[in-house]
Structure 1
Amino acid sequence: MASIALSKQHQHSPLELERYINLSSVVNFGVIILASWESFAVTFQFALTNGGPSSMFYGSILAGCGVSCVGFSLAELASIDPTVGAQYRWSANFAPFAPRFWGLIQGWLTVAAWCFTCGGPPSILANMISSLAMFNNENYVPKAWHTSLIMIATILLPLAFNLRFQRLLDGIEIIGGILHIILFIVVIVVLIIFGPRSSPSFVFDTLVSDQSGWNNSGVSWGLGLLTVTFSVTGFDSVLHMSDEVKKVHTRVPRSIILACTVNSVMLISFVLVLLFYIGPLEALNNSPLPLIYVLYGATDSKTATNVLVALIAVVIFCALFNIFASVSRLIWCFAKDKGLPFSEVFAYVHPTLKLPLNALILVGSIVTALSLIYIASATAFNALISLQALALHVSYVLPILFMLIRKIRGPAPQYGPFKLGIFGIPLNFLSICYLLYVLTWMPFPTLLPITKDNMNYAGPIFAAVIIAAVADWFLHGHRRFAMPVKRYE
């Protein structure tokens, strides 16, 4: 890689990114990268066998309220210290003890979570494309290598734009934002006008607890909740673009709040309408993408179904552009603070492109490797990307917890333009309660009996990352990690 070879030549060049992101772009960035109603629309099949309608509807309300509390809490922190490192820098700055230790552990956790998160949208897009192919050609049977190649194909354009045409990302975000709103209205109207109506008792009183092997209704409801929480996770991505946002102390917090609240309202509304017009569940249970048959059942038109599903895929595709940008900046920042092995390589900023070139190449390489792993074992691929939700939720807990301790014990930090005031402690407390409740269910297997194929590997992989981070701290990290710590006394 020529860029890596050049890093030594430019190791003394300024490690600065250019501030060019305006208000509309940063708002669209946060809203689109979640794409909550679209994410739920293409993954809700997992909730059909765990929890069912009851978990989907009431879970969307819980997730919407919970993630909004978390969003407000992180927005306050972003107003105090809008930094690309976000969670790991906040954990260090507000930790009651051992700040550099907590910073390094949090950094490993957040970087690992986001690197594996990059494999999520390509796999969703590959599932959508394969499902549409089967929908239009009943004889088509997707192979593992088909899925892998589709995943690799979906990352080529986002990677190229981030490498050479990053200023055009504003236009892509605007397109994605417009589609996000218009498609929501169109799909809602189509379902209400043409869809078969379900009874209120089906929507509000139906709890599915006998199809996944779990006979405990509470466990089934909790597991079904995870599909909803997945759809509203990842709003911290806009934080990792902080060094390129103008008027960052006000605009990044605003983007976080809008991303959480707008997406939560749209998600709750979509779930409610979907359940009222979902049609017979028997036709959906064995489908890799039930949304296709929900829309086909309402429109009775393959053309309309293909167009609507394809446009939803476009929105998710637009989010992939933002994910590449965000994760590459996070890796760059952590490397700049010497949190990673070979930090001098990944802290390199290209002098002409004004972007963390090697970090961006690393992200593309990781997603490509994950895509190739899918050929060998879909189980191994799913095991790796299962880390994302668990690790990201933990990454939200630590800085909010440390901030809450600081508010209670003092001294209070010097707040930025956005301050929660008297609502700060209650919102921080509710955020932690919500995150811990969701984290309770994440290590559970979704199906019983447990086999190597349906095993939930999120817990073991999470533990492996923590062990690696702690080992790094004791071996090299305590000497290498050079993060500037502000104590905000």
Structure 2
Amino acid sequence: MLQHDELKDVNVSMADEDSDSQDNASPDVPKKYRGTEADDFQMKVMGRVQELRRNFTFITILGFGSTLICTWEIIMANILPALTNGGTAGFFWGWVVVVVGFILVYASLSEMASMAPTSGGQYHWVSEFAPPSCQRFLSYITGWLCFTGWQSGLTAICFISGTIIQGLIVLNNPDYVFQAWHGTLLTIAVCIGLFAHRWLFVMIIVLWTLAPRHNAHDAFLLFVNNGGWSSQGTSFFVGLYPLVVSLIGFDSVVHMSEEIKDAARTLPRAIMWSTYLNSFLGLIMVITLIFTWGNADEIAGSATGYPFIQVLFNVTKSHAATDVLSFIIVITLTASVIACVATASRQLWAFARDKGVPFSNTVAYVNPNWNVPVNAVLLSLVATSLLSLINIGSFVALNAILALDCAILLASYMISIGCLTLKRLRGKALPPRPWSLGNMGLFINIAALCWLVPIFIFTLFPGTTPTTPATMNWGVLLFGGIILMAAVYYVVRGRHVYISPRERLRRDIQM
């Protein structure tokens, strides 16, 4: 096995050869899928060879991102924690806070994506923008955060979709005994087309037509604290968790960047417009729910495990209608799973080609006929299936993994934006980019960090207090465990073989 210094020499040599070539792409990639001259130049600058096909345009990648982050569906499926901590007023005003905060975050990520449109995403940006003394270790830790975050996120979407089906079985068959392993099998089944937003309006019409109404005063101004917290403010911030989950993850399109035409221009536009679109659709669903949800205390104990299923049944008085409406959400979540598999596998593949994970050569293999990282895709599916098995032994443990996804992605955003902010504060020159925040860049970066830090902390809070082992949010333990595991692996193995993106970088070459 080559040691780190030898790998670095080989890499620099390859980068020199690539910079002199006219087309910086693998011969296995057909010319029509190699992108624009700007894409080719960016790959040379980053010391990469084009191995994947650039199939995505602005419209298709916009659909990809909007479908993966199934905002209104997640809001419906995960509404109860927000109503417990905050009530309808907290739900609405919390949505406003979350949308504004994420616009700042995604604007910062969009600018970095325009500077360096690579499937590595956050760990590349950390490597390039962090101080040289710590860039290698910090980018390595960020790489571990990103790939574990997307693997757990894939499990979360599959689990929600599979257990909604299980909830419908409970509704239609009162004699059915809820078994954890049934949910696991359904999760794996979900694991094993785009823009489903038109179904949103079917759901809205049913709720507005048939459901009872709350008055406007209670809907917008009645805050509640049913989580047992010492203050309404704490309860409000704890209740933001499901809203954060419904908008987190638009870095997904970044990890597809080496499959996007004119990526440096297309990526920022896709990230921002996906954010705007999903925020608007989410707002429609939030307003609908705060007026039509009914008595939260009454539906919280639904045997289905999902209060929205009980609400739909209470409104329609029909098992068939409830099944159809609920399956709309299952279908859109399944579409999200497909996009999530692509994202998780590309993030894993990108980190593997820099020798960031065990068995990197195998994981980084790209099928020359399909130009797809097949091994990374298969590994993502296997990882999801294995993680879902935890549900058989402990639902609490699986919930911790689901909470882990949100915390990890927020942490990766904080680290990457923090490194960019530090570079700006030190007056260092930033790489050229076609999409720029201009003079507002530093303000937006700092504002994004000021929002991310408290949200990250409250994401790791339990939903209610006092806590028990069954209600504790064990995501904080898993988060610390991943950081520790990544650090130990780095010391033992990673520091000898990992090639940080900064070592490949060639910002000196001209287009």
Is residue 127 of structure 1 aligned with residue 163 of structure 2? yes
Tell which deviates more after alignment, 141-150 or 261-270. 261-270
CA change 1:273–1:43 in 2 (3 A) is same
**2:385 alignment counterpart:** 368
1:328–1:363 Cα contact (<8 Å) kept:
yes
Task: Tell me how far apart the structure 1 counterparts of residues 292 and 443 of structure 2 sit (CA, whole Å).
Answer: 37
1:84–1:241 Cα contact (<8 Å) kept:
yes
**1:41 alignment counterpart:** 76
1:74–1:400 Cα contact (<8 Å) kept:
yes
Task: Tell me how far apart the structure 2 counterparts of residues 410 and 78 of structure 1 sit (CA, whole Å).
Answer: 20
**1:290 alignment counterpart:** 307
Task: Tell me how far apart the structure 2 counterparts of residues 379 and 300 of structure 1 sit (CA, whole Å).
Answer: 32
**2:291 alignment counterpart:** 276
1:283–1:293 Cα contact (<8 Å) kept:
no
Match of 1:150 among 186, 196, 199: 186
- Rg larger for: 2
Is residue 193 of structure 1 aligned with residue 229 of structure 2? no
CA RMSD, 1 decimal: 1.8
- Look up the SS of the partner of 2:501 in the other structure: coil
The letter for the 2-side match of 1:200 is A
1:338–1:480 Cα contact (<8 Å) kept:
yes
Runs of at least 5 residues in structure 2 that lack an aligned partner in the other structure: 1-26, 29-48
**1:413 alignment counterpart:** 430
The Cα of 1:269 is off from its aligned counterpart by 2.3
Task: Tell me how far apart the structure 2 counterparts of residues 453 and 414 of structure 1 sit (CA, whole Å).
Answer: 48
**1:166 alignment counterpart:** none
**1:440 alignment counterpart:** 457
The Cα of 1:190 is off from its aligned counterpart by 2.4
Runs of at least 5 residues in structure 1 that lack an aligned partner in the other structure: 1-11, 157-171
**1:108 alignment counterpart:** 144
2:228–2:465 Cα contact (<8 Å) kept:
yes
Q: Could you state the TM-score of these two structures normalised by the residue count of structure 2? A: 0.86
Percent identity over paired residues = 34
Match of 2:344 among 327, 334, 340: 327
CA deviations 1:306-342 (Å, max 9, x no partner) are: 2121112111110100110111111111010011121
CA deviations 1:239-262 (Å, max 9, x no partner) are: 111111111111121111112111
Match of 1:255 among 245, 249, 270: 270
CA deviations 1:112-153 (Å, max 9, x no partner) are: 111111110111012211111122222222201110110111
- Look up the SS of the partner of 1:119 in the other structure: helix
Match of 2:123 among 80, 85, 88: 88
Is residue 316 of structure 1 aligned with residue 333 of structure 2? yes
CA change 1:18–1:228 in 2 (3 A) is same
The letter for the 2-side match of 1:285 is A
Q: Could you state the TM-score of these two structures normalised by the residue count of structure 1? A: 0.90
1:55–1:221 Cα contact (<8 Å) kept:
yes
2:127–2:501 Cα contact (<8 Å) kept:
no
Matches within 5 A, 1:349-368: 349-368=366-385
Task: Tell me how far apart the structure 2 counterparts of residues 466 and 375 of structure 1 sit (CA, whole Å).
Answer: 26
1:117–1:385 Cα contact (<8 Å) kept:
yes
Matches within 5 A, 1:152-301: 152-156=188-192, 172-173=193-194, 177=195, 179-180=196-197, 182-209=198-225, 211-287=226-302, 288-301=305-318
Match of 2:483 among 457, 466, 469: 466
The Cα of 1:488 is off from its aligned counterpart by 5.7
Q: How many residues are paired up?
A: 457
Task: Tell me how far apart the structure 2 counterparts of residues 224 and 122 of structure 1 sit (CA, whole Å).
Answer: 23
The Cα of 1:477 is off from its aligned counterpart by 1.8
- Look up the SS of the partner of 2:239 in the other structure: helix
Task: Tell me how far apart the structure 2 counterparts of residues 427 and 333 of structure 1 sit (CA, whole Å).
Answer: 28
Task: Tell me how far apart the structure 2 counterparts of residues 260 and 398 of structure 1 sit (CA, whole Å).
Answer: 21
The Cα of 1:411 is off from its aligned counterpart by 2.1
The Cα of 1:218 is off from its aligned counterpart by 1.8
